[in-house]
Amino acid sequence: MVFRKLRPNSPAGEMPFFDHLEELRWRIVWSLTALAVGTAIGFYVAIRFDLFSLLKKPVDPFISNAELIALSVTAPFMITFNIALTLGIILAAPVIVYQVWAFLAPALTKREKRYITPALYLGAVLFCAGVAMAYMYVLPVTLKFMGSFQSPGLRWALTADGYFGFVLKLLVAFGLMFELPVVVMILTALGLVTSKWLASKRRYAIAGMAIAAALITPGDAITATIFMMGPLMALYEIGILLAKMVERGKARHAAADALAEAQ
């Protein structure tokens, strides 16, 4: 068994199986290195810019003395580590995506690369947009709704690890949710789905998105799940529009290639 080359200096233009595994190993090593460096930078950013206070700010109006409870000695460190790790994943994402892309790109045609490359850049922008939406709109509304059920005899006594775990899951969930148009665009470029097929499966997609929203949002975030449904449906429709754009582009290039061959 042979695979298409990943090293441009390969004279045969193909890579044997074990060389293919060696290439994969180095891609993984570089990805893990990027993650480690990103996490280290995340530690610095989290401490230098006090991300702890920034992420805690939305819940301050709903807790007494604006304090969270740490139930263990290691809780403050682990919270900082989780924040740093989340930042590290975000910072390392371009490197990781590049390593995946470099590993798979030789198996793709030039036409497929033409559509997938801009989709990867779009994915980074959409992820940040999803995180921003979750922090600025979804998180405050969710906390306000949940906090409205408090009473003089029933008040929140939130633990720090519980609250920050909830917030980080919510931010990452919305960031990933906003990647839906990119996934659709890539699948269309690869010829795995079409805009007509996506439109015909809209009802099933809505049901699937409802289940996905319930699974990827924190378990006790009912309002977050509801908030996620609206953007998911809108993003699905945007994905259909992008699929149509990709199909038109592929049709134009196919017509141009046919004309060039005819001449």
pTM above 0.75, yes or no: yes
Stretch 215-219: mean pLDDT: 67
- Mean pLDDT lowest among 33-37, 62-66, 95-99: 62-66
Stretch 38-42: mean pLDDT: 95
The answer to whether the beta carbons of residues 99 and 33 sit under 8 Å apart is no
Q: Which of 252, 116, 102, 260 is nearest to 191 (CA)?
A: 116
d(CA 127, CA 96): 15
Amino acid 107: pLDDT: 75
Name, in order, each residue with C-beta under 8 angstroms of 141's C-beta and a sequence gap of 6 or more.
223, 227
Amino acid 61: pLDDT: 85
Q: Output the CA torsion sign for 215, 86, 242, 231.
A: positive
d(CA 225, CA 236): 16
Stretch 53-78: mean pLDDT: 87
